[in-house]
Chain A
Amino acid sequence: MAAGVAAWLPFARAAAIGWMPVANCPMPLAPADKNKRQDELIVLNVSGRRFQTWRTTLERYPDTLLGSTEKEFFFNEDTKEYFFDRDPEVFRCVLNFYRTGKLHYPRYECISAYDDELAFYGILPEIIGDCCYEEYKDRKRENAERLMDDNDSENNQESMPSLSFRQTMWRAFENPHTSTLALVFYYVTGFFIAVSVITNVVETVPCGTVPGSKELPCGERYSVAFFCLDTACVMIFTVEYLLRLFAAPSRYRFIRSVMSIIDVVAIMPYYIGLVMTDNEDVSGAFVTLRVFRVFRIFKFSRHSQGLRILGYTLKSCASELGFLLFSLTMAIIIFATVMFYAEKGSSASKFTSIPASFWYTIVTMTTLGYGDMVPKTIAGKIFGSICSLSGVLVIALPVPVIVSNFSRIYHQNQRADKRRAQKKARLARIRVAKTGSSNAYLHSKRNGLLNEALELAGTPEEEHMGKTTSLIESQHHHLLHCLEKTTGLSYLVDDPLLSVRTSTIKNHEFIDEQMFEQNCMESSMQNYPSTRSPSLSSHPGLTTTCCSRRSKKTTHLPSSNLPATRLRSMQELSTIHIQGSEQPSLTTSRSSLNLKADDGLRPNCKTSQITTAIISIPTPPALTPEGESRPPPASPGPNTNIPSIASNVVKVSAL
């Protein structure tokens, strides 16, 4: 029973009293209405727009969000209303559905937005009323096609690493833009098709007279040259066809496809001509076969999308074309008969039979009017004029349908191409945004840690340290940080100037050979080449890997005297801390490359040792030539900003 008639149930129940005297047996008890509430107004606040309706209106459809108890999840106790953070425009339609029982689809609404809203409110789109259903379905279909298009092009552009040679070849044939070789092949075949077609045409042009004989067409005068050209073209086409046949994923389907049939028809005459002898009897047939060479021009459809669209349009308008043909045939027969009988009387009439009149009718209906056959009697002229008038009408009717079909398909293709072109730029921008956000994490990691360190160390805070991150951002970063801690890995950044692969400090040893290398380098390092000096804020690069694990990407350091190891940084740290640096300012400090690397060397494991950083920074004993907490005799001299930066570093690495 439809919930919509619930309002009439009391009436139906009351009318049931009419059965009572007729009934022979006692009636069952009526269900008690325990929850007898008075009908109340409920307020639905959708993004600020308040809608009000009776509770019973919503309860008409109990299997939707608003009709069931699910809406209690959205009930706001303070304001005693139901708050939905959704689109108020679509909600209007949804609420009207409850009121009238018909769901409408507004034309201005985006189809996917509308679908989302319907899914949220638990309403099936199938119940859209008849008035709007067609529009909805059309839009949905278009959307689905577009999605499929996108997916297809995505699939095409994905690099599929493990393609067999055959598959690569097939892809090259289908999309010439995938590789240079394919492009070359594409243009070469195109060229040869053109050459072949032009040859066919030029063959028949009269080429000037050879003295002593009549004028010959070029084909006969230079027959050898033309034969060679023809052979070359057919060679190319044959090779192409065989290659395609080899590469096709489904050979049977390929053989049956239209393009392959055209290919075969284009090259067959040549081979047949080779096989057949120059016999008088069959040369007539041979000449006919040469006509098929003109089908080579259809091979251009592989090269031209417009041609393909035209062909597809004609195929899809088959019914209109059929109707056109049928009506034309009817009209031709009628008028031809009429004209024949009308002109029968006149002498020397060209309308010798009805089929002979067909020619006149066709020429007249298509408004060609060659004039080789004209009616002479008055009746003939009258009917002739009627014929030409009706011809215009009959032809003009189906043509707009075909044209609009073509236009629709053509525009669809244009849109698809445009989307594909824009897609690359879009994806690039999306990627930049994504890396931006991950860089933001690393950047704020350092900033955040520095901030914390500074707080703990009791130094005054300077806000130019970094941008204030929103709560969500900081929570997100905290989450990433927790992941780092859990796995013992750290996020790698793709900065060629920064990336140093080092190992982090964890509670186990390092078996990293690069670490070892760096250790070797470390002992010889004395100064900090300021080979790079971008401000720290622009390079949130921290590259540490966990223990003996390596990340896939390795980047090379431009500078050979690359730094430091952890150890060095620790030395630095210790030093700096002791020295009690001033307030470092990340944004203004210029860091040397190795210091930057030092940043990257900071250990992954956060210890709450910042206040005692100097002492308790763990170091792998094997790698520490010097004492752990002994301040190394590195002088901060060579690099005056080291202290400031290093203090940053200190704080950072202590965490």
Chain B
Amino acid sequence: MTMVCHRPEGLEQLEAQTNFTKRELQVLYRGFKNGPHTPPCVSLSFPQECPSGVVNEETFKQIYAQFFPHGDASTYAHYLFNAFDTTQTGSVKFEDFVTALSILLRGTVHEKLRWTFNLYDINKDGYINKEEMIDIVKAIYDMMGKYTYPVLREDTPRQHVDVFFQKMDKNKDGIVTLDEFLESCQEDDNIMRSLQLFQNVM
């Protein structure tokens, strides 16, 4: 783990680039820089990473592990990290972090959907195929953990993915392109509504 000391761009620049105000950026940066606080009774096996100015995958996993303690959130955190780390450097700088958050919280529907498509496209080849989707869905189910009702069955993720593909894959060629994805999502009211759910998070 390289302890590269990274300082973000100026506040004004970030304000210009993202949809956040200066105050919001300040709050975000403070949280970003301090890193996650592990609960006191858990001994830290990972050192605090963020004071160096970047977040790495371990931190993502740690954060998610604390938000979803019942299950295993590491896989999803891994995919999420890859979605945040647009330049594939292995660490997420504050600018990347804020840019992504800006899209997710303040962006247009189009931007959000595109970001989600990027998340699902694990190998970043511009298409989502069934295997990638199954991996994503499995990761999401993993976050729930073992003790659920009804009990998770082996083929539930696969079935879920089948339903998804039925909806999304217009030309039934087994892969979902960006356009298909955008189109299908915009047709679905549920999805549209749920995209607005986290408007006022910040």
Q: How far is the CA of A30 from the CA of B197 in the complex (A)?
A: 6
Least distance between B6 CB and chain A CB atoms (Å): 18
With an 8 Å Cβ cutoff, the count of chain B residues facing the other chain is 50
Chain A residues with CB below 8 A from B119, complex form: 18
Cβ-based interface call for B27 (8 A)? yes
Say yes or no: A129 contacts B40, CB within 8 Å: yes
Say yes or no: A5 contacts B67, CB within 8 Å: yes
Say yes or no: B136 contacts A22, CB within 8 Å: yes
Say yes or no: A17 contacts B40, CB within 8 Å: no
> For residue A7, which residue of chain B has the nearest CB?
B31
Main secondary structure of the interface of B (DSSP, over half): helix
Chain A residues with CB below 8 A from B105, complex form: 10, 14
Chain A residues with CB below 8 A from B67, complex form: 1, 5, 8-9, 12
Q: A10-B101, A11-B101 are in contact. Are A22 and B160 (CB under 8 A)?
A: yes
Chain A residues with CB below 8 A from B181, complex form: 21
Chain A residues with CB below 8 A from B69, complex form: 1
Q: How far is the CA of A4 from the CA of B185 in the complex (A)?
A: 36
Say yes or no: B23 contacts A38, CB within 8 Å: yes
Chain A residues with CB below 8 A from B129, complex form: none
Partner of B64, one of A12, A19, A29, A126: A12
> For residue B107, which residue of chain A has the nearest CB?
A17
**Which residues of A, 1-42, contact B by the 8 Å Cβ criterion?**
1-5, 7-27, 29-30, 32-33, 36, 38-39
Cβ-based interface call for A455 (8 A)? no
> For residue A128, which residue of chain B has the nearest CB?
B40
> For residue A130, which residue of chain B has the nearest CB?
B43
**Which residues of B, 83-102, contact A by the 8 Å Cβ criterion?**
83, 97, 100-101
Chain B residues with CB below 8 A from A17, complex form: 104, 112, 115-116, 195, 198
Say yes or no: A20 contacts B116, CB within 8 Å: yes
Q: In the complex, identify which listed stretch (A97-105, A257-265, A271-279) lies at the interface while the others stay far away.
A: A97-105
The number of inter-chain residue pairs (CB within 8 angstroms) is: 116
Most-contacted residue by chain B among A13, A15, A33 (CB, 10 A) = A15
Main secondary structure of the interface of A (DSSP, over half): helix
Partner of B37, one of A5, A22, A33: A5
Cβ-based interface call for A127 (8 A)? yes
Least distance between B115 CB and chain A CB atoms (Å): 7
Chain B residues with CB below 8 A from A12, complex form: 63-64, 67
Say yes or no: A22 contacts B198, CB within 8 Å: no
Q: A4-B38, A20-B116 are in contact. Are A30 and B63 (CB under 8 A)?
A: no
Contact indicator per residue, chain B 101-144, by CB within 8 Å of chain A (1) or not (0): 10011000000110110011000000000000000110010000
> For residue B79, which residue of chain A has the nearest CB?
A18
Least distance between A34 CB and chain B CB atoms (Å): 11
Least distance between A67 CB and chain B CB atoms (Å): 13
Say yes or no: B202 contacts A2, CB within 8 Å: no
Q: In the complex, identify which listed stretch (B8-16, B147-155, B186-194) lies at the interface while the others stay far away.
A: B186-194
> For residue B27, which residue of chain A has the nearest CB?
A39
Partner of A100, one of B37, B104, B168: B37
12 pairs, CB–CB < 8 Å, chain A vs chain B: A4-B38, A8-B63, A12-B63, A14-B100, A14-B198, A16-B198, A18-B120, A20-B194, A21-B116, A39-B27, A101-B37, A101-B38
The 7 nearest A-B residue pairs measured at CB: A4-B37, A7-B31, A2-B39, A101-B37, A14-B104, A127-B40, A27-B194
Residues of B within 8 A of A (CB): 23, 27-28, 30-31, 34, 36-41, 43, 63-64, 66-67, 69, 80, 83, 97, 100-101, 104-105, 112-113, 115-116, 119-120, 136-137, 140, 160, 163-164, 168, 181, 185, 190-191, 193-195, 197-198, 200-202
| Seed contacts A5-B66, A99-B34; 18 additional CB < 8 Å A-B pairs | A3-B37, A4-B36, A4-B39, A5-B36, A5-B37, A8-B36, A8-B63, A11-B63, A11-B97, A12-B64, A17-B116, A17-B198, A19-B140, A20-B195, A22-B160, A26-B193, A32-B200, A101-B40
